[in-house]
Amino acid sequence: MFKGCMTALITPFRDGAVDEKAFQNFVDWQIKQGINGVVPCGTTGESPAMTHDEHERINRLCVETAAGRVPVIAGCGSNFTEEAISLTAHAKEIGADASLQVTPYYNKPTQPGLYAHFKAIHDAVDLPMVIYNIPARSVVDMTVETMARLAELPNVVGVKDATNDLARPVLAREKIGPEFSQLSGEDGTIGAFLGQGGHGIISVLSNIAPAISVSMHDAWWAGDIATFSAVRDRLHPLARALFVETSPAPVKYAASLLAICEETVRLPLVGPTEATRALVRELVAELGLQGPAATAKAAE
């Protein structure tokens, strides 16, 4: 079961190309900061603005850099089933631990169509699958009933739930059982999600605050609700600020403040407004967040 705090990794760019060195350094830093897993090539990684070759390259670099230290759930989703199968086959070939498969956007499939799409991927590639349900971006919402049907397939092992419907974890647990991994896709509701039976998160916030994010989850699973609540309350203003504008623009700006990578996002996204920058700068400073260079120096 996937559990705890996993990072929906940003993708560094430089001069129009993927900054491979920055990405590898970033993945290594995330793992050294204690993150429970990494998820490349999701929405936060700007997969819709990547070429097919870039997508496969980033997934490969992530698996190679992780080197078995933490699970890698490789983003492989597409609204074209054959493309999703191709990306998933590559993820299996390079040694990813699972694939993340988004509900097909724009096409607006019915519930039977959603089932057929995910079953086709499942049957084509023998690799564990986490379904990514994000109605706000994909315009379709997988019902708990459809999720339960898919969970009967041996390799459908979990969901990244970005519905903001906090009844979902309880309903899914009732219909599927406690071993089905329920990961939130919303930093702002993590306390309620865990309280409703969730197992963890695929987080945007942990791109820039991995250690403190992990400490919050560790406190939850240790039953230390006082510490969990205190850390949650400290992190919530920044978690909220990172979605004032379309993600990942704010979090990539925050990453640039920590010298993780340049703030560049690819069109059609653009960088955040000055008002958002000022808010993010204030909250990053307030939390005392440090990037890879500073944390490495402190560890010496």
Coil/strand/helix, residue 61:
helix
Q: Does 274 reside within a domain? A: no
Residue 1, pLDDT score: 85
- CATH code, domain with 165: 3.20.20.70
Kindly state whether residue 131 falls inside one of the protein's structural domains: yes
Domain assignment present for 264: no
The segments of the chain whose pLDDT lies below 70 read 296-297, 299-300
- The verdict on residue 141 lying in a domain is yes
Residue 157 belongs to a domain: yes
With respect to residue 228, please indicate whether it lies within any of the assigned structural domains: no
- pLDDT single digits (tens) 31-70: 999 999 999 999 999 999 999 999 999 999 999 999 999 9
pLDDT reported for residue 276: 98
**pTM for the full predicted model:** 0.97
Question: Which residues form the domain of 102?
Answer: 4-223
Residue 291 exposure: Cα atoms within 13 Å on the Cβ side: 15
Distance CA 37, CA 69 (A): 9
Given this model, what pLDDT does residue 16 score? Answer: 93
pLDDT in tens, 178-200: 999 999 999 999 999 999 999 99
Question: How many CB atoms lie under 10 A from the CB of residue 50?
Answer: 19
**Catalytically active residues, by annotation:** 132, 160
- What are the angstrom distances between the C-alpha of 61 and each of 35, 54, 240, 266? 17, 10, 30, 20
Who contacts 222 (Cβ-Cβ below 8 Å, separation ≥6)?
none
d(CA 63, CA 155) in angstroms, rounded, equals: 20
Residue 156 lies inside a defined structural domain of this protein: yes
In a domain? residue 73: yes
Count how many domains the chain has.
1
